[in-house]
Amino acid sequence: MSFIPADYETVDSRIHRFWEQYPNGRIITSIHALSETGGIFKAEIFTDRDDVIPATVDFAEETKGSSPVNKTSWLENGLTSAVGRALADLGFSPKGKRPSQEEMAKIGRAHV
């Protein structure tokens, strides 16, 4: 099976589309769990800054050193992945292309 990351949207693109549609929204990220080998990251998306309950919440897991970027930036990568997943939950992904380009690149590396 061949994975083509370029066929998928970047998290950056999803974030920009979110702000266009919800200029008064909020994106809150947090570290859900940390260990010596990685972490689990959480993203909460609010469509209005005054909302008490997020429109969606999602998580991502990253492992230290599991890719070239995760040797130095695994924490940032995990937070970005959580945001990308949460925005996909809110509909900011084309049908059938829910994973972000960054997530698909990870899958492609795992199958090389």
Q: How far is CA 7 from the centre of its chain?
A: 16
Q: Is pLDDT above 90 for 97? A: no
Which residue did the predictor score with more confidence, 5 or 67? 67
Which residue did the predictor score with more confidence, 57 or 108? 57
* Strands, sheet with 56-63, edge to edge from the N-terminal-most edge strand: 26-34, 38-46, 56-63
Which residue did the predictor score with more confidence, 108 or 37? 37
Q: Is pLDDT above 60 for 15? A: yes
- H/E element, 12: helix 11-21
Q: Is pLDDT above 50 for 112? A: no
Residue 10, phi then psi, degrees to nearest 5: -80, 160
